[in-house]
Amino acid sequence: MSKINAEWHLANKMPKNPTEKQRIDWHLAHAAHCSCREIPAGVLELMKKYGMPASKKSSVIKEKTGTNILPHIAAPALRALNSIGVDKLSDLKRHTEKELLTLHGMGPKALNTLKAAMKEAGVNFQAK
């Protein structure tokens, strides 16, 4: 296993009493940002139950989840996004660029990184 991405772990705690979907989403994001461990067998079974591709290897998960994963941005910006329910790129279409800039922890550098990833993924901010 690789070195732990402590910054990602600090910014992305597993919710208390998570739903099956939240468990899957957290482990997919974890596999994309940190490869300190494999996806647990129970989560792989849940993924199969929902018809999702299941692999323990993070490189395969990155390929299959593709462009919907948030790019690497600073922990304060990730926490700001998590506070409004954003944990993947497609969630950003519910928000405006101006709204994100008002969040504590979201700065121009993180916003530019998000905009570049959104452009690549074909995701747009909500119209004003």
Domain ranges, residue 96: 75-121
Q: Which two tokens stand for residue 35?
A: 């490869």
Q: Closest Cα partner for 31 from 44, 18, 48, 16?
A: 44
* Number of domain units in the chain: 2
Chain mean position to CA 70: 5
Q: What is the pLDDT of residues 14-44, one digit of tens each?
A: 888 988 888 888 888 887 777 678 888 888 8
| pTM reported for the whole predicted model | 0.51
| CA gap 19, 65 in Å, rounded | 19
| CA gap 8, 118 in Å, rounded | 20
Given 31, 47, 66, the domain boundary residue is 66
Those residues of the chain that have pLDDT short of 50 are 1, 58-65
Residue 128 lies in a domain: no
- Give the burial class of 37: count Cβ atoms within 10 A of its Cβ; 0-12 exposed, 13-18 middle, 19 or more buried: middle
